[in-house]
């Protein structure tokens, strides 16, 4: 099970440790990487006097990048053979651009994938209820991976895994598959949202994993539930759960949802079991969860031996799952696939003088108020001591860099690219309108006279200032048909939505009198610069593959630092990137006699 390389690095590195050394050096010394991963933001694209494209990229790149079709550039960044390119004098890319592309490819972890078996068992039709093709791909591959890992743990340490603990189980697609044929695992599904648990229990009944004894039922009330759900909603667990809760919450008699009325799990000999534990996980200490795990008769005298798993646990939940291996004696192994890096908190706080280009994570004018603890959250990124103390000031990734690490540039198509580049263009233009009309102001990150520890003053750069962010969120689809429709949609939402009530008066005062002619004038001014935005965003997404590599490598490094507890730790791919881009699993196995 242990792969040949404990990190799936590319390039000519002598070992995983050599890769980490060079990765950290590159991330801390490459100005271009730091600018593209945390130094620039789409909101500032047209608010800089010099223009973000010209401020961020070497002058020798400009003509080449703006003269090429975007899809041709994406091929150059990610797919073309760099040893078979024409020279710059023959119309090829500048050599410094090629070097940068080589570096990003070199330090991005490999994402190629092959299933663990030539043919994996297909999920039973009943278990696939509610799954889209992406989820089917993920669950099919990960249940097989977890099952094989459990066997590997047993052979390495002698620990027979008794239960699989699913962090953030959602509607329990993974757990349902693990508990069903041919795996028959005992699963503890830990989920903080009660509506997800209700929907999961309903799916358990639909799949046959749980059965419901015959009970006397109020047929009139059941018909009312079906009526509320409607014909299209009766096969949708979240709709049925909501309808059941709506009726049960308004009637003064005992009418429980069918998935809660005497549902029995594992009714056939040898089948798996599922137990749901509701609760929010705020750390890696699972003492409360473990105390609530129920044992069947055959397990009563045995010690619990648990494996923590997760498909796409958001933000810090991945960190809690990884730390559970260190903090809980009963957790014998972990297999964690993370996602939503933008939801990670920042352990080291705002950037220091050494981070010349790093844009601080700014408070949105109409967003939720950050807690001061979020700026120095011990549960946040980075996890490992090595990343925290590197070069005495540590590795920092702001929310922009972490958000870009969630992109999937290798999957971009022309149609999708045109669509979201239009949206980015509209957002960048309206930010300029916000600035010109006084909705937002300039924010200075550091003073030009600010000195570093050597006493040398740092010259002012275009990256020393930005603008206040404003949360807009999603709009109705027609709002993205044109800049005019977008501006009207944004102004309407920010002046009428209850969610943004605290800022509606300012928005109405500053933006309520915007005319169509003014919007058209902004479009004429900035539309010729849309290609600049497309190039910068593409380079940001490409460079952010290294940001994701930093996050994943930090998690692996954290496990390696706990060698007194952890016997093996590695990272490998478990999904096809085309189906599920967040496809790197972090694995840890505990030593048999670990303290």
- The string of pLDDT tens digits covering residues 275-316 is 888 878 888 898 988 988 877 666 665 789 999 999 998 899
Q: What are phi and psi of 201, to 5 degrees?
A: -65, -40
Residue whose C-alpha is closest to residue 572's, from 561, 586, 556, 558: 586
Compute how many other C-beta atoms are within 10 angstroms of the C-beta atom of residue 254. Answer: 8
Residue ranges of the chain whose pLDDT lies below 70: 211-219, 248-271, 296-301, 352-355, 368-374, 446-461
What pLDDT was estimated at residue 242? 79
Those residues whose C-beta lies under 8 Å from the C-beta of residue 546, and which sit 6 or more positions away, are: 23, 26, 27, 33, 37, 104, 107, 108
The pLDDT tens digits of the residues spanning 537-586 come to: 999 999 999 999 999 999 999 999 999 999 999 999 999 999 999 999 99
The pLDDT tens digits of the residues spanning 194-219 come to: 888 888 888 887 777 776 555 455 66
Give me the residues paired with residue 506 across strands: none
Helix (H, G, I), strand (E, B) or coil at 331: strand
Give me the residues paired with residue 210 across strands: 265
Q: What angle do CA 348, 352, 355 make, to 5 degrees?
A: 105
Residue whose C-alpha is closest to residue 187's, from 284, 115, 260, 289: 289
Rounded to whole angstroms, how far apart are CA atoms 27 and 396? 10
The pLDDT tens digits of the residues spanning 234-248 come to: 777 778 777 877 776
């Amino acid at each position: 099970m242990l792969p040949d390389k404990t990190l799936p690095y590319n390039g000519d590195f002598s070992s995983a440790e050599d890769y980490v050394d060079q990765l950290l050096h590159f991330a801390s010394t490459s100005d271009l990487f730091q600018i593209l991963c945390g130094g620039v933001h789409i909101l500032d694209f047209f608010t800089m006097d010099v223009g973000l494209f010209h401020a961020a990229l070497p002058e020798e790149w400009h003509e080449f990048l703006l003269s090429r079709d975007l899809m041709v550039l994406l091929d150059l960044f990610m797919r073309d053979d760099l040893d078979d390119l024409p020279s710059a004098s023959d119309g090829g890319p500048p050599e410094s651009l090629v070097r940068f592309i080589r570096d990003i490819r070199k330090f991005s972890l490999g994402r190629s994938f092959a299933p663990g078996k030539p043919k994996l068992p297909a999920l039973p039709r009943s278990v696939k209820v509610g799954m889209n093709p992406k989820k089917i791909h993920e669950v099919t591959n990960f249940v097989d991976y977890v099952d094989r890992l459990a066997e590997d743990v047993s052979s390495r340490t002698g620990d027979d895994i008794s239960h699989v603990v699913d962090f953030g189980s959602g509607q329990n697609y993974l757990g349902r598959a693990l508990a069903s044929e041919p795996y028959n695992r005992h699963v503890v599904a830990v989920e903080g949202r009660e509506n997800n648990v209700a929907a999961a229990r309903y799916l358990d009944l639909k799949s046959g994993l749980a059965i419901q004894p015959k009970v006397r039922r109020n047929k009139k009330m059941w018909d009312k539930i079906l009526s509320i759900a409607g014909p299209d909603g009766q096969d949708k667990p979240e709709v049925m759960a909501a309808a059941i809760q709506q009726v049960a919450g308004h009637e003064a008699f005992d009418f429980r949802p069918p998935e809660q009325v005497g549902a029995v799990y594992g009714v056939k000999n040898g089948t798996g079991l599922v137990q749901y534990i509701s609760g929010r996980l705020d750390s890696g200490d699972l003492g409360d969860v473990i105390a609530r795990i129920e044992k069947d008769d055959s397990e009563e005298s045995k010690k619990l031996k648990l494996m923590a798993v997760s498909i796409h646990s958001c933000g810090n939940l991945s960190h809690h799952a990884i730390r559970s291996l260190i903090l809980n004696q009963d957790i014998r192994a972990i297999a964690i696939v993370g996602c939503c890096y933008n939801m990670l908190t920042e352990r080291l706080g705002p950037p220091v003088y050494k981070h010349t280009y790093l844009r601080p994570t700014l408070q949105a004018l109409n967003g939720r108020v950050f807690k001061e603890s979020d700026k120095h959250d011990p549960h946040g990124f980075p996890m490992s001591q090595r990343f925290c103390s590197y070069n005495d000031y540590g590795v920092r990734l702001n929310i922009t860099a972490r958000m870009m690490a969630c992109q999937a540039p290798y999957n971009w198509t022309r149609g999708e690219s045109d669509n979201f580049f239009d949206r980015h263009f509209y957002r960048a233009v309206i930010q300029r309108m916000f600035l010109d009309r006084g909705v937002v102001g300039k924010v200075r990150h550091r003073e030009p006279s600010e000195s570093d520890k050597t006493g040398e003053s740092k010259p002012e750069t275009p990256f020393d200032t930005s603008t206040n962010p404003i949360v807009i969120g999603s709009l109705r689809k027609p709002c993205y048909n044109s800049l005019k429709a977008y501006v009207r949609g944004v102004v309407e939402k920010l002046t009428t939505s209850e969610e943004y009530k605290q800022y509606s008066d300012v928005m109405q005062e500053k933006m309520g009198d915007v005319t169509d002619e003014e919007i058209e004038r902004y479009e004429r001014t900035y539309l010729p610069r849309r290609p600049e935005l497309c190039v910068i965003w593409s380079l940001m997404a490409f460079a952010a593959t290294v940001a994701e590599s930093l996050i994943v490598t930090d998690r692996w490094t954290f496990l390696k630092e706990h060698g007194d507890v952890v016997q093996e730790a590695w990272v490998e791919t478990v999904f096809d990137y085309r189906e599920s881009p967040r496809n790197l699993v972090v694995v840890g196995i505990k030593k048999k006699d670990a303290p």
